[in-house]
Structure 1
Amino acid sequence: MVVETEGTFEVDGHSLYTKSWLPDGPAKAKLIFIHGFSDHLGRYYNFFPTLAGCGIAVHGLDQRGWGRSVRKPAERGLTGPTARVLADMAAFITPHLPASPADPPVFVMGHSMGGGQVLTLMCRDEYQESVVRRVRGWLLESPFISFSPEEQPSWLKVFAGRLAGRLLPHRQLKHDIAVQHLTRDPEVAKSILADELMHNTGTLEGLSGLLDRTEALAKGLVRPRAGGAVRALWIGHGTQDKTTWFEASKKYFDQYAGEVADKEFKAYEGWYHQLHADGPDSVQFYKDVGDWILARSEEKPEAKL
């Protein structure tokens, strides 16, 4: 039986919504999850309960500006700059890190925008000793390293957006993502359009920070350090993803993840952006993630997902 608990996490004067999925019995591992743009923890269907069912405790939060962490319209997309985004993530991850060898190992995973955020945190110098070295493995689902060709904005729009972001950082801007590019499951697509928590609204400051992060990742300016604080890395991406770009993820893995000895890239042939909600095939994604985590936990159970 999986136990679900809700709560709040206090950081920098803000209260962020949290939710956990806990196994019935001692956890074999912990997974800290970071969601994507306009997303929230309620959008991941059976993914988290399935992981908890095989002994992996899952802890996540609705990030600042998103989901149930938004209390009024003015807070929509109000993420702050990249430094604030990363500080929120590090503050949430830290209490879950092992305090002794007897504690279950911790893994960190991000989806889409959250994948780009996790990858950025994983590579930043200031977090290497306090966070990165204490995490057993990092997982990225369809990470936002670059726009897909279908979603690529013009250079003029990007330039104007960054300039305006310096002048009016908290100005809100709606950015609708084509639902038909997110999932092959028509019922999931309908539920996205009906979800009032998915407001598709960013601020110019937040969107500029997102663009800056993707540019740095795509150019390899942000990559794992030589010497090995990153212990293990898994990237999964659908080949037909028209929201974030499969080719950018594969290039990053091939060219810039060489410093990570334990790494795996999983191409999901024909899949779209939301691997966790892409129709009946998603059970294979659940299995891949769960098996990868359990194989790197101290206890290696005989049973698989």
Structure 2
Amino acid sequence: MSTETEGTFQVADASLYTKTWTPESAIKAKVVHVHGFSDHVNWYNDVYRILASKGIQVFGFDQRGWGRSVKQPSDKGNTGPTSRVIDDIAAFIESKLPSDVPVFVLGHSMGGGEVITLAADPQYTKLVSQVRGWMLEAPFIGFAPEEIPSSFKIFAGRLACKILPRFQLKHELDVANLTRKPEVAKGFKEDPLCHDTGTLEGLASLLDRTAALQSGSVKLGKEVKSLWVGHGDHDKACSYQAAMDFAKNQDIEDKVVKTYVGGYHALHVDLCQEEYANDISEWILERSQDQKPIEAKL
């Protein structure tokens, strides 16, 4: 069982919606969660209730431009450039430090690419060194073959971005590619908070981050103690192979890579949901055994 609380996190000029899943038993570890494109934290309730039942406290927030952090139509997808996105995430992680139990960071899809970008940036070395482990659920390191945009579309978008950076553009996700559960796909389609909208600036920044990750130029340093990567091999949104290649190229001694055979993109709401939840719980708890649990406090 767990207690779920909602709140806000103030960062720079934004007030971001937050949600926390707190165990009713002693806290053994903490996880900071970063969601993906056209996504929000309340789609992760089922998995994070499982984690909380095992003594893992989870902190999530709706990123700038997404979910309940959107206060007006012009906010949709208005993430700002990569520097703003990463600063927001770093500030949220930092707000959970220092900690009496190990802290982990987990990013899904776009959020996975973002946390890699943060973890590899020398600017955040001190912060990264305080995180016990980094976890990537179907990280966006490259497009799946079905989703690769044309070169012309990318060029035209970048050109327009220089003139109208906050111009909003729809990039509709095919919900049938996210999960093998029809009722969940229907829920994504009908959820007004999954608005499929980005600004030209935000989309261009996303493409730039992804290109850097896929090029192999982004390397995680010695401050990254542990890495877990999980990806479905039938993911039609983000490239499974790009994620495997990235993981293979990281020189990290404590590294676990898990393929979910037949798995789609959103493992947390796919048919393998329970397996995924148990996998990440076990991985976290195995790396939290040396520290004494603390009493849960809301």
Q: How far has the Cα of 1:261 moved from its partner?
A: 1.1
Q: Which residue in 2 is equivalent to 1:125?
A: 122
Query: Which residue does the alignment assign to 2:296?
Result: none
Partner residue in 1 for 2:246: 252
Q: CA deviation at 1:221?
A: 1.5
Output one character per residue of 1:133-166: Cα deviation in whole Å (capped at 9) or x when no partner: 0000000000000000000001111111112112
Q: Tell me if 1:203 matches 2:199.
A: yes
Alignment deviations for residues 270-302 of structure 1 (CA, whole Å, 9 cap, x no partner) = 1100101112x210000000000000013589x
> Which residue is 1:115 aligned to?
112
Q: How many pairs align?
A: 292
What is the aligned partner in structure 1 of residue 68 from structure 2? 68
Structure 2 gap segments, 5+ residues each:
293-298
- Residue in structure 2 matching 1:154, options 142, 150, 156: 150
Contact map agreement 1:21 1:52 (CA 8 A) in 2: yes
**Is contact 2:101–2:291 with CA below 8 Å preserved after alignment?**
no
User: Secondary structure of the residue that 1:20 maps to in structure 2?
Assistant: strand
- Identical pairs, percent: 52
Aligned pairs (5 A) from 1:21-100: 21-99=21-99
Query: Is residue 282 of structure 1 aligned with residue 282 of structure 2?
Result: no
Partner of 1:294: 285
- SS for the counterpart of 2:165 is coil
3-state secondary structure, aligned to 2:104: strand
The alignment's C-alpha RMSD in Å is 1.2
Query: Which gives a bigger RCO, structure 1 or 2 (Cα 8 Å, sep 6+)?
Result: 2
Normalised by the length of structure 2, the TM-score is: 0.96
SS at match of 1:30: strand
Q: What is the TM-score with the length of structure 1 in the denominator?
A: 0.94
Contact 1:240 1:271 in 2 (8 A): yes
1:222 deviation in Å? 1.4
Task: Report the Cα distance in structure 2 between the residues aligned to 1:269 and 1:298, rounded to whole angstroms.
Answer: 30
Structure 1 stretches of at least 4 aligned residues deviating more than 2 Å after TM superposition: 298-301
**Secondary structure of the corresponding residue to residue 249 of structure 1:** helix
| Alignment deviations for residues 153-199 of structure 1 (CA, whole Å, 9 cap, x no partner) | 01111111112112111000000011111100001011011101110
SS in 2 for 1:234: strand
Residues 101-133 of structure 1, C-alpha deviations (whole Å, 9 max, x = no match): xx011000000000000111010110011x100
**1:10 maps to which residue?**
10
